[in-house]
Structure 1
């Protein structure tokens, strides 16, 4: 299968991105905000020059951020958005007015931060500490870029956790917590209560909170206790807000939402899956909170216009027809459960083939066990990430999970793996087979790349 090439990074972006990657990796954190606070202070605290919505949780953060931003743009506000990780290019992490900044603006943001980062690096190293991390530097760049634009409001997705996440140097007007599950236990804790405690670190006394219904009772209890301690005003799904009804359709679904300030009947959401309706609910409530303190309904035309523009690349996204190839960045059991439910609801595949690659720090056995009932066969592969589980080792895990060696195929080369999955989906002239590619963000990105899906927008 031929590769569809994307334009290579320009020389300056390559240089800047290489310098960022030399810093501590994105999946590394330590409980210390002093470095990021110091660099922002030296820069004049640009993050205080606009309003903000900060989003934490395990699954749904990026889509919730994208929907929130789309509604705010429909309301006439100039927006900034920072999400992570990126699919194809680091410029995707910093968006203004719904569009990733260009390479020149990304490089300029890096240069704007550079002299201050050098000071903080030196101070930290002199005290025996580390330099600014990759993620801390990117947060500083995003906040600076938003101030330079300038934007009216920033929609900020946490990188990992909440309490110690570098995005926390901002003082949000609204906080959002999506469903919390097990992920990044090596940093956030082994119990759901510990993980929820880290996510709850984004809540403040001042910010109005929007809280998703929690699949884990322990997480709900931790969030309720934190809200009570802060005496913070909150809209909780299942109490003040909710998805009242939804009807799946071609290319999306019709949803009736109960927001904080109003009821919104039969709104079309151009995303697949029940979980996306709940992400949209959180976004609607967050916008109600920001725009009218949770007391003024959004206009029906505004909401319709905002939702009509929503996309969520790499999340239950069809990137090829005949046979259908669906990519999803599901990389933990909860994300895989949502994907399975979405495929069963929205597609009528007569044969479903998995294309799976997983990173080393993830619970591969549980991910595969969640996907197994959906799949007739699975092609095990690996992305180009150095953290990818080698295909032969992952295939051994899959054989144990599937308990049938004939259902598990292996192809370390991703182009070869895609071709094998497509061939299996079309086996014996089957016109209604489908391929579901999942397991990591990097796998989703590379499948999109190989099949020529549009750039992140």
Structure 2
């Protein structure tokens, strides 16, 4: 990160943090208005949900690029650099592009900050400013379509400045209750805020009936056109294989047999389904199927760093950004389906606002032992505190090791996986996006995003 980028990013971080919602779209709408509403110069697809948003966005964008469109993509959080949050044609903008987007927004942000504070309100938040930067960068490129992942919720998320052509909602579960509500129904209501009467809705099958009911009722109220997993669309079959899985999918307009997806896990097949349906909705209004060769080229080459990602062999080190109980459960299922480890060692670090005990309870049956550590994030739970929680859950103290230093924690886990000459042990890293990013750095994984 250059000194200038470091300075700009520090200025962004001085604003209200990403994990805090200001329930008001007036600031982002005002700054967009002052800038000439650049977000209206291209088509858009908006994605909300608890888990699977980033991967769905990446798969969808890959399909649209294969179809010949110039794409913008904004996702969060980032793994290594804030430039990852704004991608054009599948690649993060370079530092100069990021800095230019910041400069383009700056004079208008100053006006909105002053107006809001004069009225007793807050200045633009960190996420609002970054969202404005993304929308401006896409207009400057220019792109044909933007794939826009919400930050938190949907109703009050800054990405609501766009008027999407397609709205996608992935599975909804408990997360960020302090901002979105204590119940599944309340959280689903926030996510449903991205739905509009004009946008074609693509909805995942929901793990909770309350979420499904809320989304169905919202679609009915709006009179929106909707395709729902398990009804109009679905994963018809899938066969796990080396480096991915073979899929048969029923989209809105077509059936696609024998398509290889270069990602592991049932959840990734379902993410791919949502992406396919959203692409059909955007490209042909849901009436024209995608070209089979186009789809094969896209799905066979898609990547999703930090999501069920193998980052080392001998022993296998698999890392995942799972940071809530639903994500942890998906990870457990993916490991059991795709790997036959003779012993499985976990490396776990979790942030303070997350449900650490629930995450550990989900992971416990998978792990022969766990090394408790922490990332460099100031929000990370100290290793000794997290280890105390883990000992209560794992019951056998010998299964829980504590190591504050992440490099040492990784080495301990590798040594345990290879103990007694075992060549088939594995290491599973989970608990937070920051932990996944730092392990990628430690193991020298290229910043492929």
Bucket of the pairwise TM-score, normalised by the shorter protein: over 0.9
Matches of 2:263 and 2:358, distance apart in 1: 26
Q: Where does residue 453 of structure 1 map in the other structure?
A: 445
1:87·1:456 contact (CA, 8 Å) conserved in 2? no
Matches of 1:102 and 1:300, distance apart in 2: 33
Q: Where does residue 3 of structure 1 map in the other structure?
A: none
Matches of 2:354 and 2:448, distance apart in 1: 25
TM-score (norm 1): 0.98
Structure 1 residue 456 displacement after superposition: 3.2
Structure 1 residue 11 displacement after superposition: 1.3
Deviations 1:177-207 (A, max 9, x none): 0000000000000000000000000000000
Q: Where does residue 292 of structure 1 map in the other structure?
A: 284
1:444 equivalent in alignment to 2:436: yes
1:74 equivalent in alignment to 2:66: yes
1:345 equivalent in alignment to 2:337: yes
Q: Where does residue 6 of structure 1 map in the other structure?
A: none
Structure 1 residue 136 displacement after superposition: 0.2
Compare 225-234 and 304-313 and name the one that shifted more: 304-313
Where does 1:248-263 land on structure 2 (aligned, <5 Å)? 248-263=240-255
Q: Where does residue 372 of structure 1 map in the other structure?
A: 364
- Consecutive unaligned residues of structure 2, counting only runs of 5 or more, are none
Matches of 1:418 and 1:440, distance apart in 2: 15
1:134 paired residue among 122, 126, 133:
126
1:120 paired residue among 103, 109, 112:
112
SS at match of 1:255: strand
1:88·1:456 contact (CA, 8 Å) conserved in 2? no
Matches of 2:161 and 2:86, distance apart in 1: 17
1:42 equivalent in alignment to 2:53: no
Structure 1 residue 307 displacement after superposition: 1.1
1:355 equivalent in alignment to 2:351: no
Deviations 1:100-145 (A, max 9, x none): 0000000000000000000000111111111100000000000000
Matches of 1:447 and 1:11, distance apart in 2: 24
1:325·1:437 contact (CA, 8 Å) conserved in 2? yes
Q: Which ranges of 4 or more aligned residues in structure 1 deviate by more than 2 Å?
A: none
Deviations 1:151-184 (A, max 9, x none): 0000000000000000000000000000000000
1:92·1:456 contact (CA, 8 Å) conserved in 2? no
Whose RCO is larger (CA < 8 A, sep 6+)? 1
- Consecutive unaligned residues of structure 1, counting only runs of 5 or more, are 1-8
Matches of 1:161 and 1:340, distance apart in 2: 25
Two-structure CA RMSD over aligned residues (Å)? 0.4
Q: Where does residue 17 of structure 2 map in the other structure?
A: 25
Matches of 1:114 and 1:207, distance apart in 2: 31
TM-score (norm 2): 1.00
The alignment covers a number of residue pairs equal to: 449
Matches of 2:445 and 2:149, distance apart in 1: 24
1:283 paired residue among 275, 286, 294:
275
Compare 51-60 and 120-129 and name the one that shifted more: 120-129
1:270 equivalent in alignment to 2:262: yes
Where does 1:43-62 land on structure 2 (aligned, <5 Å)? 43-62=35-54
Structure 1 residue 306 displacement after superposition: 1.2
Structure 1 residue 308 displacement after superposition: 2.1
2:326 paired residue among 304, 327, 334:
334
SS at match of 2:21: coil
